[in-house]
Structure 1
Amino acid sequence: MDAYRLTSIRLLAGAVLMAGLVACGEEDVRETVTLQVEQAPEYMLPSREPEGDRTALSALAQETIGRLRGIIESNSLRRLTRLAGSQSGFVSNFAGASHGDHWDLLRRTGFDPILRLEELLDGPYGVKMVAGETWYVWPDLAALEPEALLPERLNFSQRARLEELVGEAGIAQVREGRGYPGIRTAIAEDGRWLYYVHEISGEE
């Protein structure tokens, strides 16, 4: 009986020792991974800007978003056109077409202006100052100046999002210094809906 107890104690001690060694090994792995992240290139590090540091939307801008979401819910291109027409200086295209004709043509070719607007508003926004006025811009990457939008200037997650949003062709345009080439929209601090475009021009 004593021999049996002695054997059991030895087995238990061995198991405890092995568990301790495994735990030490895991700690070593974690320390190595942390060291590798600290030594990673700057562009691979996550953004250091906390979510809470982003400029909050003004009350008037939130009201405009509420109106847009109501239109999105109704899926009414006519209501979207009416709202755009009521906004001073609103831009939907650079070909001189009316907002309604332009969006109707896009919908006929498979681009749904209402669905894409919803996707934009559901994503993150950026903030930029234009002539002393605050603009809220969707997506956030569209708020960056052309030189700041170069892939080499972005962190890893931003570069991945840029490629997802505009593709290789869009990135080639960015490298030409032409600014963000994808679909984008903006609302001013005073609640004006400024533009909803998918072309490149000097509207910003």
Structure 2
Amino acid sequence: MMRWLALPVWLTLSACTPGDEAPARVAPDESLLEAPSPPAPPALPEPVIETREAILDAARAGSLRRLSRLADSQPAFLSNFGDVPHYRHWDLMRRTGFDPNLTLVELFEKPHAAKQVGDKTWYIWPDLAARSNAELQPEQLSFRDEARLEKLVGEAGIEAIRAGSPYPGVRTAISETGNWHYFLHEPAKEGDTP
């Protein structure tokens, strides 16, 4: 009887011979441990680069008059939805704590996106401003883009997007021909363009 009881112990021990080793663990490739990179923004055509540099030169100089002259030279440029002259609008904004020059420099440091508007391609900063309301819904965004959106427009902006508003934050656009179309800090209202 004792022999029969010892049999299961013997079978268990014999199955664990020194020759049976666990398979070696393989570490994942280092690239699998890194966060995925966002797609590279589209290349900018030369006219867009030239206009962006002209805007940046005026903005870095801190000159609202120079920035206003540049905006005035652009056909149908839009800085606000109230038909206030660009210089007067930006000067008022600066006095209330919104520095248009600094804001433009910061905008052009952010990623951009290309968007077809009519028969032209517009390059829009930041890239999230080029997305439709449906594409801006937080549940449609990656975690990275959702965090960027909240940083750009705040909780009130997220609520406006959820309520159907287009991108409500600061944005600027230059078309492929080098035309500077807008630099806006206020949300568009129904009937406003863009």
TM-score bracket for the superposition, by shorter chain length: 0.7 to 0.9
Deviating runs (4+, > 3 A) in structure 1?
none
Which of 165, 182, 190 is equivalent to 2:152?
165
Q: Distance in 2 between matches of 1:167 and 1:73?
A: 26
Task: Decide which structure has greater helix share.
Answer: 1
Matched-pair contact (CA < 8 Å) for 2:125–2:172: yes
Q: Distance in 2 between matches of 1:116 and 1:91?
A: 16
Give the C-alpha shift of residue 50 in structure 1.
3.1
Q: Counterpart in 1 of 2:118?
A: 131
Q: How does 1:3-18 map to 2 (within 5 A)?
A: none
Q: How does 1:43-192 map to 2 (within 5 A)?
A: 46=36, 50-51=39-40, 54-192=41-179
Q: Counterpart in 2 of 1:13?
A: none
Letter matched to residue 128 of structure 1: K
Give the C-alpha shift of residue 146 in structure 1.
1.0
Letter matched to residue 203 of structure 1: T
Q: Counterpart in 2 of 1:10?
A: none
Matched-pair contact (CA < 8 Å) for 2:60–2:101: no
Letter matched to residue 169 of structure 1: A
Q: Structure 1 unaligned runs (5+)?
A: 1-22, 38-44
Give the C-alpha shift of residue 46 in structure 1.
4.4
With normalisation by structure 2, the TM-score equals 0.79
Matched-pair contact (CA < 8 Å) for 2:60–2:102: no
Q: What is the CA RMSD across the aligned residues, in angstroms?
A: 2.1
With normalisation by structure 1, the TM-score equals 0.76
Bigger Rg over Cα: 2
Q: Structure 2 unaligned runs (5+)?
A: 1-23
Give the C-alpha shift of residue 63 in structure 1.
0.4
Letter matched to residue 58 of structure 1: P
Matched-pair contact (CA < 8 Å) for 2:123–2:175: yes
The alignment partner of 1:191 has SS state of: coil
Give the C-alpha shift of residue 203 in structure 1.
1.8
Matched-pair contact (CA < 8 Å) for 1:46–1:156: no
- Residues 157-176 of structure 1: per-residue CA shift (max 9 Å, x gap): 00000011111100000111
Q: Distance in 1 between matches of 2:36 and 2:141?
A: 10
Q: Distance in 1 between matches of 2:39 and 2:133?
A: 23
- Residues 16-51 of structure 1: per-residue CA shift (max 9 Å, x gap): xxxxxxx95x94xx69xx6xx9xxxxxxx846x631
Q: Distance in 1 between matches of 2:76 and 2:44?
A: 21
